[in-house]
Amino acid sequence: MRRFVILPGIGGSGERHWQTLWERCDPAMRRFRPASWNAPVLGQWIVALDEAVGEAGPSCILVAHSLACLLVANWSARSSLAAAGAFLVSVPNPQSAAFPTSAAASFTTVPAAPLRFPTRIVASGNDPFGSVIYQRRCAEQWGSRFIELSALGHINAASGLGDWPEGLHLLREFAEEIQRVGAVPPAKGERLA
Protein backbone atom coordinates (compact mmCIF):
# COMPACT_ATOMS: atom_id res chain seq x y z
CA MET A 1 0.00 0.00 0.00
CA ARG A 2 1.33 3.43 -0.97
CA ARG A 3 1.76 5.80 1.97
CA PHE A 4 1.26 9.53 2.07
CA VAL A 5 3.12 11.85 4.45
CA ILE A 6 0.93 14.82 5.41
CA LEU A 7 2.99 18.00 5.79
CA PRO A 8 0.98 20.92 7.21
CA GLY A 9 2.28 24.44 7.24
CA ILE A 10 2.73 26.72 10.22
CA GLY A 11 0.10 26.03 12.88
CA GLY A 12 -0.30 22.39 11.88
CA SER A 13 -3.52 22.49 9.80
CA GLY A 14 -6.45 22.61 12.20
CA GLU A 15 -9.51 20.43 12.59
CA ARG A 16 -11.34 21.79 9.51
CA HIS A 17 -8.35 21.76 7.16
CA TRP A 18 -8.51 19.32 4.24
CA GLN A 19 -5.20 17.71 5.27
CA THR A 20 -6.63 16.81 8.67
CA LEU A 21 -9.86 15.53 7.11
CA TRP A 22 -7.99 13.41 4.58
CA GLU A 23 -5.77 11.96 7.29
CA ARG A 24 -8.79 10.98 9.41
CA CYS A 25 -10.36 9.09 6.51
CA ASP A 26 -7.32 7.28 5.12
CA PRO A 27 -4.98 5.15 7.26
CA ALA A 28 -2.33 5.41 4.51
CA MET A 29 -1.95 9.11 5.36
CA ARG A 30 0.28 9.98 8.32
CA ARG A 31 1.27 13.41 9.56
CA PHE A 32 4.91 14.26 10.19
CA ARG A 33 5.68 15.57 13.69
CA PRO A 34 8.05 18.53 13.94
CA ALA A 35 9.21 19.92 17.28
CA SER A 36 6.93 22.96 16.96
CA TRP A 37 4.06 23.84 14.62
CA ASN A 38 3.99 27.51 15.64
CA ALA A 39 7.71 28.27 15.88
CA PRO A 40 9.07 26.32 12.91
CA VAL A 41 12.81 25.84 12.54
CA LEU A 42 13.84 24.51 9.13
CA GLY A 43 16.54 22.17 10.45
CA GLN A 44 14.14 20.60 12.95
CA TRP A 45 11.44 20.22 10.32
CA ILE A 46 13.92 18.50 7.96
CA VAL A 47 14.82 16.02 10.73
CA ALA A 48 11.10 15.36 11.35
CA LEU A 49 10.53 14.84 7.63
CA ASP A 50 13.48 12.44 7.45
CA GLU A 51 11.92 10.44 10.30
CA ALA A 52 8.50 10.37 8.63
CA VAL A 53 9.90 9.33 5.24
CA GLY A 54 12.10 6.72 6.94
CA GLU A 55 8.97 5.20 8.49
CA ALA A 56 6.82 5.48 5.35
CA GLY A 57 9.45 4.23 2.90
CA PRO A 58 10.77 5.53 -0.44
CA SER A 59 7.47 4.90 -2.27
CA CYS A 60 5.68 7.53 -0.16
CA ILE A 61 4.16 10.69 -1.58
CA LEU A 62 4.57 13.94 0.35
CA VAL A 63 1.40 16.04 0.65
CA ALA A 64 2.49 19.56 1.59
CA HIS A 65 0.59 22.76 2.23
CA SER A 66 1.97 26.29 2.47
CA LEU A 67 5.20 26.53 4.50
CA ALA A 68 5.70 22.77 4.16
CA CYS A 69 6.15 23.26 0.40
CA LEU A 70 9.30 25.24 1.19
CA LEU A 71 10.29 22.44 3.57
CA VAL A 72 10.03 19.90 0.74
CA ALA A 73 12.24 22.00 -1.56
CA ASN A 74 14.88 22.32 1.17
CA TRP A 75 14.58 18.64 2.14
CA SER A 76 15.11 17.62 -1.49
CA ALA A 77 18.34 19.63 -1.54
CA ARG A 78 19.67 18.35 1.81
CA SER A 79 18.43 14.84 2.51
CA SER A 80 19.61 11.60 0.96
CA LEU A 81 16.27 9.85 1.55
CA ALA A 82 13.93 9.19 -1.35
CA ALA A 83 10.25 9.88 -1.91
CA ALA A 84 8.13 8.87 -4.89
CA GLY A 85 6.76 12.37 -5.34
CA ALA A 86 5.40 15.53 -3.73
CA PHE A 87 1.99 17.18 -4.05
CA LEU A 88 2.58 20.86 -3.19
CA VAL A 89 -0.41 23.09 -2.46
CA SER A 90 -0.20 26.87 -2.09
CA VAL A 91 3.54 27.53 -2.22
CA PRO A 92 4.12 30.73 -0.21
CA ASN A 93 6.44 33.51 -1.30
CA PRO A 94 8.82 34.47 1.56
CA GLN A 95 9.00 37.99 0.05
CA SER A 96 5.22 38.56 0.25
CA ALA A 97 3.84 40.89 2.90
CA ALA A 98 1.66 38.05 4.24
CA PHE A 99 4.60 35.68 4.89
CA PRO A 100 5.19 35.13 8.65
CA THR A 101 8.84 36.17 8.48
CA SER A 102 9.31 36.55 12.23
CA ALA A 103 7.94 33.06 12.96
CA ALA A 104 9.45 31.30 9.92
CA ALA A 105 12.71 33.17 9.32
CA SER A 106 14.67 29.97 8.60
CA PHE A 107 12.41 29.24 5.60
CA THR A 108 13.09 32.45 3.68
CA THR A 109 15.80 30.97 1.42
CA VAL A 110 14.13 28.87 -1.26
CA PRO A 111 16.21 26.44 -3.36
CA ALA A 112 15.89 26.99 -7.10
CA ALA A 113 17.23 23.57 -8.15
CA PRO A 114 14.94 20.88 -9.58
CA LEU A 115 13.54 18.55 -6.94
CA ARG A 116 14.77 14.96 -6.96
CA PHE A 117 11.32 13.43 -7.51
CA PRO A 118 8.15 14.19 -9.47
CA THR A 119 6.13 17.10 -8.13
CA ARG A 120 2.84 18.82 -8.79
CA ILE A 121 2.12 22.38 -7.62
CA VAL A 122 -1.51 23.36 -7.11
CA ALA A 123 -2.10 27.11 -6.89
CA SER A 124 -5.12 29.32 -6.30
CA GLY A 125 -5.74 32.34 -8.49
CA ASN A 126 -5.97 34.66 -5.45
CA ASP A 127 -3.60 33.25 -2.83
CA PRO A 128 -2.44 36.12 -0.57
CA PHE A 129 0.70 34.19 0.43
CA GLY A 130 1.99 33.40 -3.06
CA SER A 131 0.92 34.81 -6.40
CA VAL A 132 0.31 32.59 -9.39
CA ILE A 133 3.36 34.17 -11.02
CA TYR A 134 5.56 33.21 -8.06
CA GLN A 135 4.20 29.68 -7.84
CA ARG A 136 4.55 29.16 -11.58
CA ARG A 137 8.20 30.28 -11.30
CA CYS A 138 8.73 27.71 -8.51
CA ALA A 139 7.20 25.06 -10.78
CA GLU A 140 9.62 25.96 -13.58
CA GLN A 141 12.63 25.92 -11.25
CA TRP A 142 11.66 22.72 -9.45
CA GLY A 143 10.57 20.82 -12.57
CA SER A 144 6.99 20.57 -11.29
CA ARG A 145 3.74 20.26 -13.17
CA PHE A 146 1.61 23.32 -12.42
CA ILE A 147 -2.13 23.51 -11.93
CA GLU A 148 -3.89 26.80 -11.37
CA LEU A 149 -7.32 26.57 -9.78
CA SER A 150 -9.94 29.30 -9.55
CA ALA A 151 -9.97 31.79 -6.67
CA LEU A 152 -9.71 29.60 -3.55
CA GLY A 153 -7.60 31.86 -1.36
CA HIS A 154 -4.82 29.98 0.41
CA ILE A 155 -6.56 26.62 -0.13
CA ASN A 156 -6.93 26.14 3.62
CA ALA A 157 -9.75 25.82 6.15
CA ALA A 158 -10.67 29.49 5.65
CA SER A 159 -11.35 28.68 1.99
CA GLY A 160 -14.37 26.62 3.10
CA LEU A 161 -13.38 23.57 1.06
CA GLY A 162 -14.21 20.92 3.67
CA ASP A 163 -12.46 17.72 2.67
CA TRP A 164 -11.66 19.30 -0.74
CA PRO A 165 -12.71 16.48 -3.08
CA GLU A 166 -11.16 18.22 -6.11
CA GLY A 167 -7.77 18.22 -4.37
CA LEU A 168 -8.08 14.57 -3.39
CA HIS A 169 -8.90 13.73 -7.00
CA LEU A 170 -5.78 15.61 -8.16
CA LEU A 171 -3.66 13.77 -5.57
CA ARG A 172 -5.01 10.36 -6.59
CA GLU A 173 -4.45 11.20 -10.26
CA PHE A 174 -0.84 12.19 -9.46
CA ALA A 175 -0.28 8.96 -7.49
CA GLU A 176 -1.66 6.89 -10.38
CA GLU A 177 0.68 8.63 -12.83
CA ILE A 178 3.65 7.88 -10.59
CA GLN A 179 2.53 4.26 -10.30
CA ARG A 180 1.99 3.93 -14.04
CA VAL A 181 5.13 5.54 -15.40
CA GLY A 182 7.41 5.76 -12.39
CA ALA A 183 7.72 9.51 -12.81
CA VAL A 184 5.59 12.43 -13.89
CA PRO A 185 7.19 14.52 -16.63
CA PRO A 186 7.19 18.27 -16.14
CA ALA A 187 4.53 20.14 -18.07
CA LYS A 188 4.27 23.78 -19.08
CA GLY A 189 1.17 24.29 -16.96
CA GLU A 190 -2.49 23.53 -16.72
CA ARG A 191 -5.39 25.71 -15.72
CA LEU A 192 -8.52 24.28 -14.15
CA ALA A 193 -11.71 26.25 -13.60
What residue type is assigned to position 32 of the chain? F
For the chain, the helix, strand and coil percentages under 3-state DSSP, each to the nearest 5: 35, 15, 50
Q: Which residues contact 108 (CB under 8 A, 6 or more apart)?
A: 94, 99, 101
Number of domains in the chain: 1
Residue 184: domain span: 4-191
CATH value at residue 165: 3.40.50.1820
pLDDT of residue 181: 77
Distance CA 2, CA 92 (A): 27
| Cβ within 8 Å of residue 182, ≥6 positions away | none
Tens-digit pLDDT string for the chain (193 aa): 789 999 999 999 999 999 999 999 999 999 999 999 999 999 999 999 999 999 999 999 999 999 999 999 999 999 999 999 999 999 999 999 999 999 999 999 999 999 999 999 999 999 999 999 999 999 999 999 999 999 999 999 999 999 999 999 999 999 999 998 765 444 444 444 3
Q: What is the pTM of this model?
A: 0.93
Cα distance between residue 172 and residue 169, in whole Å: 5
